[in-house]
Structure 1
Amino acid sequence: MKLKRFLLRYYPPGIILEYDKGGQLRTKSIDLLDLTPECVSYELLAEIRRSEPLITDSRADQVKQLIVRLQQKQRQQDHHRFCFMKELKAHILPLTNVAFDKSGSRFITGSYDRTCRVWDTASGRELHTLEGHRNVVYAITFNNPYGDKIATGSFDKTCKLWCAETGKCFHTFRGHMAEIVCLAFNPQSTLVATGSMDATAKLWDVETGDEVATLTGHTAEVLSLCFNTVGNQLVTGSFDHTVAIWDHLSILHTGVRVHTLTGHRGEISNVQFNWDCSLIVTGSMDKTCKLWETGSGKCVATLVGHKEEVLDVCFDLSGQLIATASADGTARVFSANTHQCLMTLEGHDGEISKICFSPQGSRVLTASSDKTARLWDVQSGVCLQVLEGHTDEIFSCVFNYEGDTIITGSKDNTCRVWY
């Protein structure tokens, strides 16, 4: 094995090693999830070198400099105040979802008008209209970090794969018997997973367009799914109150159900792995979230406090914090380690359907039926900003990778860009 170069990853902090093995270029990552500005760089370097033989004496100083750069990035205070930049009259019917590419230079919107549109973030110019679906375009995503492909899932029971550069449709994935409501690329961008109201999830080959697996066993709609960061596992959440962990995806191009997570007494609204894939968080209509060990499938905590359904849940990128959004109009921030509620975020006048952390993990963004989005400080729980202007409920909000741009998508047929 021969080390070629290092790549820096700011969120979450880490160093990617690009190396040659048998004539093939490969990568592996050194995750520094516990890095703080106070860490002693040479001690951390020694720890890394003990476990990573690719980092030889000649490369040690380079790695130390990368650690220092990551710490410098962490020291940059996140005092950014967002200003409304533009409103895009994006669609002739309400939006369903918005998503950024990795660079943040482009974003996509899905809509009840049966299209997905690709936008230039800086200018607000429409780059492409992705047409061909025969019903609502509900689930949309880029194949980040590459950003050269887009997948769209529709109520017409199909998923389409598009070229992000030209707007050309590569494949139409047919096989589901009901609406597709969630989808995801694996990290290698070789597979697309789709979840459907037909109670199944399917895996599709990006290159050939072939269906490679049908994941069966749920007895009601599959509403949420997520790949782990390695790409060998998928987790699915269903209206049947259960969550399934599927393994061996990258090896067999099939899926083996290794755990069924039972314990929720209501439909599952969202599922997500933490960054190191050791934990899964689930939100449910039973007003709780649960935290599960990926390896054993065991429930390690039930996060309580909401008075109504939990509509969304997510980890921050380091996996230290969990944020929950509820129909009771509040959001909460929990510690993933102690399982304690650290903050209750109060101020919205309607249910909160979407929640996400900034890449830095210092801010939480919420979208509500009260027509506003709100930005909150994670440490204090203070509402820093109210993003106003939409004339109907907001049900999608997203940060770009740098955390300095926000898109909000609304039932009022528009999206708004905030810098």
Structure 2
Amino acid sequence: MKLKRFLLRYYPPGIILEYEKGGHLKTKSIDLLGLTPETNPDDLVAEIRQSEPLITETRADQVKDLIVRLQQKQISFLTRSPLFQELKAHILPLTNIAFDKSGSRFLTGSYDRTCRVWNTTSGTELHSLEGHRNVVYAIAFNNPYGDKIATGSFDKTCKLWCAETGKCFHTFRGHMAEIVCLTFNPQSTLVATGSMDATARLWDVETGEEMATLTGHTAEVLSLCFNTVGNQLVTGSFDHTVAIWDVASARRVHTLIGHTGEISNVQFNWDCSLIVTGSMDTSCKVWDVVSGKCVATLVGHKEEVLDVCFDLSGQLIATASADGTARVFCAKTYECLLILEGHDGEISKICFSPQGTRVLTASSDKTARLWDAQSGVCLQVLQGHTDEIFSCVFNYEGDTIITGSKDNTCRIWY
């Protein structure tokens, strides 16, 4: 094996090794999920060298320089003043919003049956994706590539679009009820859709053909997520269960049973070892992917858990609830670290900044809030919307936020 070059990954922090073996170019990643500005670079280099033979003594200084660059990136992330631009995005309420990987463009879906593509910097509309015959509910870029867009609609179809021209490549037909969630696999070769017809389906991006129908749930499939490798998909259903599927064979690997209410969201952690689930039974559960066993139940909320997520490093879990509070848990000890209080209505959406240092919440009280992920202090109240905020998202750099509201507008916060 011969090391050719290093590539840097900022979020979550890591170093990609590009090397040659048997005449073929290959890559492997060194995940630095625990890296902080206080980490001693020399100690970390020594630790890496013990487990990675490609990092020889002559390469040690290069690795140290990369680690220092990652730490400088962490330090440079500063809270910005909440300047904003308001876009009168649609003539009817928005349903969802999504960034591309670079953060230069974002999508809005709406009850007006369209999905629109926007330039983040200028706030100008780039494309209006028209053709659905009902609400456009689920939307996504094929990140990290960003050259395709998928839209899922209450008209029971999913459409695949060219992000550059707005041309429709394919219309995926087969679901018998509304499509309410969708996602691309990491390789951008498949789209997975979840529907009120109690199934999930896999579609080939290139040909537009259906690859598999994932059956077994007995109620609506409201959430789904590929792992970071792309070989497994997890689905959450209103039947109170979660299923892990092998993508290649479309076979169900595990059924995760334990919740006593509808599942609101499901997500893999970065290294694909754990799944977190939120439920209307007021709890979250953490599951071991290999065994399918529940390893922890996160309690404390007094009403339904409406959203749940890992930070990008997989070290923290955040939950949002109809009780108007959010919580942050340690993903190793499952201890509740923070209770985020301040909203006057239910919190429907929660997410971490890419750096994991901030938590963003969206609420029916017409505000979004930005919180410090270590202290739990509310840093900013993003206010001005005149109706419920149902969606919020960070860009990849973590310095721009978009909020989507039932007031038919979205706001770009800088």
Q: TM > 0.5 between the two? A: yes
1:279-290 matches, within 5 Å, as 279-290=274-285
> Which stretch shifts more, 54-63 or 370-379?
54-63
Aligned residue identity for 2:166: G
CA apart distance, 1:22: 5.7
* Residue of structure 1 equivalent to 2:382: 387
> In 2, distance between residues paired with 1:415 and 1:34?
34
Describe the superposition over 1:171-209 as per-residue Cα deviations: whole angstroms up to 9, x where unpaired: 111111111111111111111111111111111111111
Describe the superposition over 1:328-356 as per-residue Cα deviations: whole angstroms up to 9, x where unpaired: 11111111111111111111111110000
CA apart distance, 1:18: 3.0
Describe the superposition over 1:273-314 as per-residue Cα deviations: whole angstroms up to 9, x where unpaired: 111111110000000000111111111111111111000000
Q: Secondary structure at the match of 2:193?
A: strand
> In 2, distance between residues paired with 1:145 and 1:385?
29
> In 2, distance between residues paired with 1:365 and 1:61?
37
For the pair 1:293 / 2:288, whether they are aligned, the reply is yes
Q: 1:344 aligns with which of 339, 342, 362?
A: 339
> In 1, distance between residues paired with 2:205 and 2:5?
28
* Residue of structure 1 equivalent to 2:309: 314
* Residue of structure 2 equivalent to 1:73: 73
* Residue of structure 1 equivalent to 2:38: 38
Aligned residue identity for 2:96: N
Q: 2:408 aligns with which of 392, 405, 413?
A: 413
Q: Secondary structure at the match of 2:290?
A: coil
* Residue of structure 2 equivalent to 1:404: 399
Aligned residue identity for 1:281: V
Aligned residue identity for 1:115: T
Aligned residue identity for 1:399: F
**Change in CA separation of 1:49 and 1:294 when aligned onto 2, cut-off 3 Å:** same
* Residue of structure 2 equivalent to 1:51: 51
> In 1, distance between residues paired with 2:331 and 2:7?
28
> Which stretch shifts more, 67-76 or 167-176?
67-76
CA apart distance, 1:57: 4.6
CA apart distance, 1:83: 2.1
> In 2, distance between residues paired with 1:380 and 1:323?
14
CA apart distance, 1:58: 4.4
CA apart distance, 1:219: 0.7
Gaps of 5+ in 1: none
Q: Secondary structure at the match of 2:359?
A: strand
Describe the superposition over 1:196-254 as per-residue Cα deviations: whole angstroms up to 9, x where unpaired: 1111111111111111111111111110001111111111100000001112x2xx3x3
* Residue of structure 2 equivalent to 1:239: 238
1:188-267 matches, within 5 Å, as 188-247=187-246, 249=247, 252=248, 254-267=249-262
* Residue of structure 2 equivalent to 1:120: 119
Q: TM-score, normalised by structure 2?
A: 0.96
> Which stretch shifts more, 297-306 or 53-62?
53-62
> In 2, distance between residues paired with 1:107 and 1:23?
40
CA apart distance, 1:63: 2.0
> In 2, distance between residues paired with 1:202 and 1:46?
46
CA RMSD of aligned residues (A): 1.5
Aligned residue identity for 2:119: D
> Which stretch shifts more, 149-158 or 29-38?
29-38
Aligned residue identity for 1:27: T
Q: Secondary structure at the match of 2:291?
A: coil
For the pair 1:332 / 2:327, whether they are aligned, the reply is yes
> In 1, distance between residues paired with 2:194 and 2:406?
23
Does the CA contact (< 8 Å) of 1:84 and 1:416 recur in 2? no
1:94-113 matches, within 5 Å, as 94-113=93-112
Aligned residue identity for 1:30: I
Q: How many residues align?
A: 414
Does the CA contact (< 8 Å) of 1:236 and 1:245 recur in 2? yes
CA apart distance, 1:56: 4.2
* Residue of structure 2 equivalent to 1:176: 175
> In 2, distance between residues paired with 1:66 and 1:363?
24
> Which stretch shifts more, 24-33 or 111-120?
24-33
Does the CA contact (< 8 Å) of 2:82 and 2:380 recur in 1? no
**Change in CA separation of 1:240 and 1:163 when aligned onto 2, cut-off 3 Å:** same
CA apart distance, 1:161: 0.9
CA apart distance, 1:2: 4.5
> In 2, distance between residues paired with 1:379 and 1:333?
9
> In 2, distance between residues paired with 1:19 and 1:206?
29
> In 2, distance between residues paired with 1:121 and 1:402?
13
Q: Secondary structure at the match of 2:66?
A: helix
CA apart distance, 1:24: 5.3
Q: Secondary structure at the match of 1:116?
A: strand
Describe the superposition over 1:42-72 as per-residue Cα deviations: whole angstroms up to 9, x where unpaired: 3322332343344345433322211121122
* Residue of structure 1 equivalent to 2:135: 136
CA apart distance, 1:41: 2.2
Aligned residue identity for 2:303: E
> In 1, distance between residues paired with 2:401 and 2:270?
22
Aligned residue identity for 1:212: M
* Residue of structure 2 equivalent to 1:11: 11
CA apart distance, 1:39: 2.7
Describe the superposition over 1:59-96 as per-residue Cα deviations: whole angstroms up to 9, x where unpaired: 333222111211222233x4413423211000011000
Does the CA contact (< 8 Å) of 2:266 and 2:308 recur in 1? yes
CA apart distance, 1:362: 1.2
**Change in CA separation of 1:55 and 1:170 when aligned onto 2, cut-off 3 Å:** farther
> In 1, distance between residues paired with 2:347 and 2:172?
32
> In 2, distance between residues paired with 1:19 and 1:146?
23
